[in-house]
Amino acid sequence: MSSRTLLSALSLGALLHYAALATAQTPPAEAAAPTVSPAPETAPAAEQTPATAGAAEPAASLEATSAAPEPEAPAPVVEGAGASDEVTAEELAELGLDTSGTDIEAVDTSFRLYGFADFSFVGSAGKWAAAYQRYPTFMVGNLNLYMSKNITDTVRTFAEVRFMILPHGSRALGAGEYTSTDAVDSNDNNRPLHWGAIEIERVYLEWSMFSWLSVRAGRFLTPYGIWNVDHGSPVVIPTMRPFVVGMELFPERQTGIELLGSTYLNANHMIGYHLTLSNGLGPVSEVRELDGNKAVGGRLYWGYDGLGELKVGASWFYGRETAAHDAVGLDAAGDVVFDEQIELQSDVLAFAGDVLWKYKGLHVQAELITQQRKYTDDGRGGAVHPLLGEYLAPKDTVSFGPYALIGYRFDWLGVMPYLWYSELDFVEPVTFTDLRARQVAGGLNVRPIDAVVIKGEYRVTFWPEGGAVTDEPIQTWGFQLAWAF
């Protein structure tokens, strides 16, 4: 056991050493933006022609600039290579700027493929270890591929797809068989393979009409708070979401339409908004609306750049969640009818507030998230609980809780020690027991190069008023390697 683990650890270190050295060659964030080499045989006109550049008389040049005549009609000049002071079509093309039309289009229409992935080593201790992770384990958690393309200078498409090992290996918390996706691979001598699935996290068409108004149509992340939009493992500081975020008091994603925009009020103050109209919540809300009520939501935020970066926001969501199916039958006249059978139905109202402050290396973020859920008369479906043997029906709930995270990133290796604390008051969804969960965690987030993050974290979840199954705290820990590409 020890030797295997040692080999794994050393191999991991060696692999990461190699990968990090390779990645360090270019700034990864901007690597996707095309860079161009100087055009051959092209003299740098402004630098090599002082008379025209005005280098000898900078003050005069500035004055002349200030008094420049009213602008002429845009008339870009694109000439072939050899024109010493003109940009060539090839140079523009290398910058990804489309020059195929009659006029130069100020848009990069290249197709971009990028994303992030993460790899973890996780475990837990105590009685809960069997429920969560009996033995420490390696796992690949995310492989998210981003695709984007500007179709015109105002219309773009964007998609984020997560490739998963799941459903292979999944099981209900603490019990049950592991799901197996074994299939026979006829391409490989009928040997077994495990197939995985994909999750379309985001896909939308975006039309940017003005700086302050864009429209997205498709599937998008619910624009609430900080964590849900950060969402990617290289960006999120801890290894795991607090309960109050993970419980999805707001839907994580929605399918519908989103309006968004932002504008600077002056050099330091910015305001922005999001408005959403969607199918809202529901077991199949990605593709089907199971009630007549569309969900609405939004977010307002204010940003201030005067003392580091400060952002304060407020979000809300209102929608009806319905689980239902149709039963086909005949009415008294013998005509076919499709009868809607509602299983569960509730109205959900959620509010959230968030604050983010970054000042030099200091990083502080906090969110308060609330949700009220009220069941309709027809939608309070109950059932006899298989273990408790009694009839249980869902009750109206108010769930709420905050989390706060504080960290400080040092210049040395991009090391950030951090702590976070979270609370959540909620109703446990199986036994409908009122629960209060408290979580404390501390860890280290190391970002030695921009696109690679190494995290280690220890968490304790405890129940100040007793747990649903046991009062014993949940102790979990995890290491994560996350990278953007």
Partner 1 sequence: MANRALIALAVFLLAAAVVPMQTSPVKAAGEPLLIIVGRSFPANDIDLAELKSAFTGRATYRSGTRLIPLNYSVGSPQRVAFDRAILGLEPAEVGRFWVDRRIRDEGTPPKVVSSIDLAIRVAAALPGAVTYGTTANLGPKVKALTIDGLAAGQRGYSLNQ
Is the torsion defined by CA of 117, 123, 129, 134 positive or negative? positive
Binders of partner 1 among residues 124 to 153 (CB under 8 A) are 136, 146, 148, 153
- Per the omega criterion (within 30 degrees of 0), is the bond before 44 cis? no
Binders of partner 1 among residues 346 to 405 (CB under 8 A) are none
Binders of partner 1 among residues 33 to 72 (CB under 8 A) are 33-39, 42, 44-47, 49, 52-55, 58, 61-62, 65-66, 68, 71-72
Binders of partner 1 among residues 99 to 118 (CB under 8 A) are 104, 106, 108, 112, 114, 116
Distance CA 353, CA 311 (A): 11
Binders of partner 1 among residues 186 to 215 (CB under 8 A) are 202, 208, 210-211, 214
User: CB under 8 A: which stretch of 76-84, 192-200, 285-293, 338-346 binds partner 1?
Assistant: 76-84
We find the least distance from the C-beta atom of residue 446 to partner 1, in angstroms, to be 7
Structure token pair of residue 114 = 């990028």
DSSP 283-343: TTTTT---SSPPEEEEEEEEEE-SSSEEEEEEEEEEEEEEEEEEEEEE-TTS-EEEEEEEE
We find the least distance from the C-beta atom of residue 233 to partner 1, in angstroms, to be 9
Is the torsion defined by CA of 78, 81, 82, 85 positive or negative? positive
Is the torsion defined by CA of 433, 438, 442, 447 positive or negative? positive
We find the least distance from the C-beta atom of residue 17 to partner 1, in angstroms, to be 4
For partner 1, the binding residue among 314, 442, 456, 460 (CB under 8 A) is 456
Binders of partner 1 among residues 327 to 356 (CB under 8 A) are none
Which CB sits closer to partner 1, 323 or 484? 484
Interaction of residue 22 with partner 1, rule CB under 8 A: no
Binders of partner 1 among residues 228 to 267 (CB under 8 A) are 229-232, 234-235, 262, 264-267
For partner 1, the binding residue among 185, 252, 286, 309 (CB under 8 A) is 309
Binders of partner 1 among residues 79 to 98 (CB under 8 A) are 85-87, 91-92, 95-97
Which CB sits closer to partner 1, 338 or 412? 412
Residue 350 has phi, psi (to 5 degrees) of -130, 140
Distance CA 362, CA 274 (A): 27
Distance CA 205, CA 203 (A): 7
For Cα atoms 178, 184, 188, give the angle at the middle one, nearest 5 degrees: 130
CB 237 within 8 A of CB 414: no
Q: How many other β-carbons are positioned within 10 Å of the β-carbon of residue 264?
A: 13
For partner 1, the binding residue among 323, 368, 437, 454 (CB under 8 A) is 454
We find the least distance from the C-beta atom of residue 426 to partner 1, in angstroms, to be 27
For partner 1, the binding residue among 76, 246, 464, 466 (CB under 8 A) is 76
Binders of partner 1 among residues 410 to 439 (CB under 8 A) are 411-414
We find the least distance from the C-beta atom of residue 61 to partner 1, in angstroms, to be 5
